[in-house]
Every structure is written in C-alpha cells, then in structure tokens.
Amino acid sequence: MASNKKFGLGMGVNALLGNAVDIDSIRKPVGYVNKEIVGNRSNDTREKADIVRIPVELIEPNPFQPRMSFDGEALEELAQSIRTLGLIQPITVRMVEDGKYQIISGERRFRACRSCGMEMIPAYIRDTSEQGMMEMAIVENIQRRDLDPIEVALGYKRLIDECHLTHEKMAERVGKKRTSISNSLRLLTLPAKIQHDLKVGLLSEGHAKVLLGIDDSIIQEELCDRVIKEGLSVRQLEVLAKDPEAGRKPAAPKQDQQLPDHYYQVLEHIGKYFTKDISLKRSASGKGSMTIRFDSDEEVRRFLEALDNAKI
C-alpha cells in the first residue's frame, strides 16, 4: 500500500539526507587526480582536455595581464574558499622555455592558491603563440564584470594596437556590438581627470558619454566637477550640456592686486634664464601661482644648473 507521507520542497536538505546534517562536514575540497607534472618534465601521454597538476614554482604570471590591480580583500575571500573547497575552476596555461608555464587565464585564482600555500595547482595546458595568449588574456579580462569602464576601453585598445584586431573582429571575440566597442574606446579621448573620476566610480559611464558630446575639454571638466559636487543625474547633465552656462554662478569681478616689491625681485631673478614672460598672480590673502614658459630644454637645463650652483 502506497504511503500517504508527503515530502514538500520546503523541507530542505534534511528531508533528503536525514536530520542533523552538517553540510560543511560532507563538503570535501575538489581534488584533481589526473596526471601530474613533476619538476620540469611532463607526462607526454596526456590528452589535450586533461587537467594536470603543476608545481607552483613552474608557473609564471601572464606578461600580458590586462588587469591593473587585484582587490586584496576579494583575493583573501577567494583564498578562503579555496582552502575549504579546493580550486573548482582550474587555471589555463601554456608551456614556455625551460619547462615553465605562463598563465593565459586565471591569474587571480593562481595568486589565491599561492597565498594558501598550495604546492600543486590544477591547470589546463593550451598550445598557443604569444599573440594568441595575449588575445585570450585580454578578451577574458574584458568579459569580467568587475572591470571599470576605463580598464575595458584599454583592453579594447590593446586588442587593436597589439593584436591588430578590427572593431568587427573584436565584436566577435568579446560578444559585444560594434557600436558598444566604439563608444567604449571614445572614453579614452576624455581628459585624464575625467577618466580618473570614471575609473574610481565618482562618475558613471552614462555621465561620461554625455561629456563626450562636448568639444571643449575645459567645459567637460567643469561639468564633471558639478556632477560630483551636486550629485547630478545623467538627465540633468544632458540639460546642462546643451547650455553649459545655465545655472553657473556669475563670477565676482576680479580686482588687481598690487604685488609686494620682493615678488618683482623673484620675477627679475628667474626671468634672466627664460626668454618668455613669467606671470605671477597673487590674491589678497597671499595665495597665488607662478607660471614659467620656456622655449627649449636648454633654458630649463640652464635654470637647474643655476639652482645647483646656488645650492638652493
């Protein structure tokens, strides 16, 4: 006679494995029992799809690594996961001279494994040239979700400059639309200050695309500052971009400040070494700036030599 006992989906793991199951106690670190590489000799009978375990001292970082920085906290979290569960996804390497292996993809995993004290690291071995390795490494990093927009754009630029890929070929490699790649590359034409703000998250990519529609770099930077200081939305920035003067507070009329006599002495001494005029501005509070323009490296060298002789 059939049992009337019903098991609902909400009963969880206990319904399947019995009561008082400690999930952590039944988890085991991932182990790869395929062929090992010992010293600098490999098992020549391995298949292309094999996962081999390579001594950590034989693995070298990827010289074409597009990633600029690795978050220390996130790296430690990954290391802790590897200590508990093992390396679930092996790294990918290629063989180079002297029996060494260079990482194609998985440098973050490699660093975490090394910090765990692992002596052997599971890896796939791929036959590829430096060109192919560079391309694979860049494409893999571009597809990561935690890259900032500038890192992505620089990755595209490297594919163009170093791998000689067209926008169409890049679109195929990374699974993006050609227009998306072109728009990303345009971010690199923004002033360095705006690129920095975009990179560190002070500015969104949507804001940056609006700023790209402005030809004047000074206005671009001014509007960038306003976005950050006033918390402007992309829509608000679009309105300002059509009329950058809108909402701008009128500047207070400047008043000429009489320079103290010793300021003119500074201008006279420095001016002997440069053919261009030197400008010096000073506010009523005593703050200011001095601008030196020069015509050649020789003028700068002569000025530095004078400073050295004067032991300043």
Could you give phi then psi for residue 125, rounded to 5 degrees?
-110, 125
Please state the length of the chain.
312
What's the CA gap between 61 and 42, in Å, rounded? 20
- 33-39: long-range contacts at Cβ-Cβ below 8 A with a sequence spacing of 24 or more? 36/120, 39/99
How many helical (H) and strand (E) elements, i.e. helices and strands, does the chain have? 14, 7
Please answer whether residues 309 and 291 qualify as being in contact, where contact means their C-beta atoms are separated by less than 8 angstroms: no
- Catalytic residue check, 230: no
Active-site residue, selected from the candidate residues 60, 73, 97, 107: 107
Radius of gyration of the chain measured on its C-alpha atoms:
30
The CA distances from residue 83 to 49, 87, 89, in Å, are: 25, 8, 14
Tokens of 162: 């170093």
Closest-CA residue to 126 (of 114, 137, 111, 138):
137
Identity of residue 312: I
Please answer whether residues 155 and 141 qualify as being in contact, where contact means their C-beta atoms are separated by less than 8 angstroms: yes
Name the DSSP letter for residue 272. T
Could you give phi then psi for residue 23, rounded to 5 degrees?
-60, -40
Please answer whether residues 194 and 220 qualify as being in contact, where contact means their C-beta atoms are separated by less than 8 angstroms: yes
Place of tokens 């010793």: 262
Active site residues: 107
